[in-house]
Structure 1
Amino acid sequence: MRTGIALHEARVRYGPLEALHGVTLAAPAPGLTVLLGRNGSGRTTVLRALAGTARLTSGTVTWDGTDVTRLTAHDRARRGLCFVPDGQAVFGHLTVAENLSLSTPAPDITPALDAYPELRPLLPRPAGTLSGGEQRMLALSRALLTAGAGVILIDEPTQGMSPTVATRTYDLLIALSTRAAPTCVLTAEQRLPPGLRERADRTAVVVHELRRGEVVFSGEASELSRPGPQA
């Protein structure tokens, strides 16, 4: 597997506090990579650094071997990077249908509704009135519809979802990461999602665990011999 997107000796500061202490990690393309870490570990900052919404104090971001550190978040998005942040990741004043239509130049939003049929009866509703889990389904559906996305970064993709929908979500992400086009899918979680360790014999899942702004483990999910960090 070739490297899709990577950080090299990355440091990020928020005022006087340093959130990342020289982090080096890579997410392959195609492939699924999971960042593990409890709140405050730096996993969200890693996603923001890769997306370009958090400026590096030092270090570099490379994408397919090219240094993109100086590219703005907008330029990275235009190049094919899709970032689904934690929390508010939909346009609350627009309907569910309008949110989905913004994500694809084609009028057909059927793939999103096939992935999450729960959204079909909600199409006329303003997205801001949905539950947390429904908003995550909508945000992920928009990512699935994004044309030409080469890198998809998702912070806590299954937050607020039922266990059944959460399992389906990771099935969708694995399918997305293993399709013919070289898509790099990188998620951030507090613990390893159920079933990923067992599926590692069929699908290589890369895991990076962070603690206090440093990488303490890098390898495949099958090599992670203990449960992920608890909240």
Structure 2
Amino acid sequence: MRGIELRGARVRYGPLEALHGVTLAAPAGAVTVLLGTNGSGRTTALRALAGTLPLTAGAVLRDGEDITRRPAHARAARGVAFVPDRRAVFPALTVAENLELSGTEADTERALDAYPELRPLLPRPAGTLSGGEQRMLAVSRALRAPRTHPRHSTSVVLIDEPAQGMSPPVAARTYALLAGLPAGVPACVVLAEQRLPPALRESAGRTAVVVHELRRGTVVFSGEAAGLSPSG
């Protein structure tokens, strides 16, 4: 398949196993949401896809190719963008410098069009921003022109709780932007969330939204957002 997936993935933190043979797929041209409460394994699964956590068993496949042994920096160089839930910006660099690192001048303008709140903050060190402002800056990396590689026709965007710390209007705008990303580029977007954001549930008619619900390191539901209970 085109996109990224885990097959029989197991991950350990010392003596504790956090993922128990998890298999899940994030197809190209869709938004995939990894749902679960704290300790469910959703963040571990996302980090395993990004390569920041090694598997103890199983495989990571991208566009059908086994990339399990490829380190995180090599995956990033081949178009896998990862935004973790913490320490997602360079605090000593200014907002402008953070944006310059993530793409071209055109990409920076695209990010500022998406988040005009960042424009007056460009000269400030990123570490002085509020939590929501830092999140806007971090997520803006996903809004740059997605990169692909000759061996991969699909770029991958992985974000852990993209709206963390954002106001409700900015959060809704963020989900609308992410839901619109696959429509214009060959990308798959994978988000880790505690609950399915209403904006994604509402956009499911226009954008394919795939849900994998995790509980205690196993997948308990996989399917379209419409098949998830309203409490999910």
Q: What TM-score range do you get, normalising by the shorter chain?
A: over 0.9
Specify the alignment match of 2:151 in structure 1: none
Task: Normalising by structure 2, report the TM-score.
Answer: 0.94
Question: Please, which runs of 5 or more residues in structure 2 have no aligned partner?
Answer: 149-154
Task: Normalising by structure 1, report the TM-score.
Answer: 0.94
Deviation of the 1:104 alpha carbon: 0.9
In 1, the alpha carbon distance for the partners of 2:86 and 2:164 equals: 9
- Are 2:28 and 1:29 equivalent residues in the alignment? yes
Specify the alignment match of 1:18 in structure 2: 17
Specify the alignment match of 1:86 in structure 2: 85
SS at the partner of 1:142? helix
SS at the partner of 1:109? helix
For 1:171-222, what per-residue CA distance to the aligned partner results, in whole angstroms no more than 9, with x for missing partners? 100111221x310100000001013222212221000000000000000111
- Are 2:203 and 1:199 equivalent residues in the alignment? yes
Deviation of the 1:19 alpha carbon: 0.2
Contact 1:43 1:188 survives alignment (8 Å): yes
CA RMSD of aligned residues (A): 1.2
- Shift in CA distance, 227/108, structure 1 to aligned 2, threshold 3 Å: closer
Counting only pairs closer than 5 Å after superposition, residues 151-190 of structure 1 correspond to structure 2 as 151-179=156-184, 181-190=185-194
Amino acid at match of 1:29: A
In 1, the alpha carbon distance for the partners of 2:105 and 2:95 equals: 16
Contact 1:101 1:107 survives alignment (8 Å): no
Deviation of the 1:74 alpha carbon: 1.0
In 2, the alpha carbon distance for the partners of 1:32 and 1:7 equals: 16
Contact 2:157 2:190 survives alignment (8 Å): yes
Counting only pairs closer than 5 Å after superposition, residues 89-128 of structure 1 correspond to structure 2 as 89-106=88-105, 109-128=108-127
Question: Please, which runs of 5 or more residues in structure 1 have no aligned partner?
Answer: none
- Are 2:209 and 1:210 equivalent residues in the alignment? no
In 2, the alpha carbon distance for the partners of 1:225 and 1:83 equals: 28
Specify the alignment match of 2:59 in structure 1: 60
In 2, the alpha carbon distance for the partners of 1:29 and 1:71 equals: 20
Contact 1:3 1:26 survives alignment (8 Å): no
Deviation of the 1:108 alpha carbon: 5.6
Deviation of the 1:144 alpha carbon: 1.6
SS at the partner of 2:231? coil
Deviation of the 1:146 alpha carbon: 5.5
For 1:38-77, what per-residue CA distance to the aligned partner results, in whole angstroms no more than 9, with x for missing partners? 0110011001100111110100000000001011111111
Greater mean deviation of Cα atoms: 79-88 or 144-153: 144-153
Amino acid at match of 1:162: S
Counting only pairs closer than 5 Å after superposition, residues 138-149 of structure 1 correspond to structure 2 as 138-145=137-144, 147-148=146-147
In 1, the alpha carbon distance for the partners of 2:118 and 2:86 equals: 18
Deviation of the 1:88 alpha carbon: 1.3
In 1, the alpha carbon distance for the partners of 2:26 and 2:107 equals: 31
In 1, the alpha carbon distance for the partners of 2:146 and 2:229 equals: 37
* Matched residue count: 226
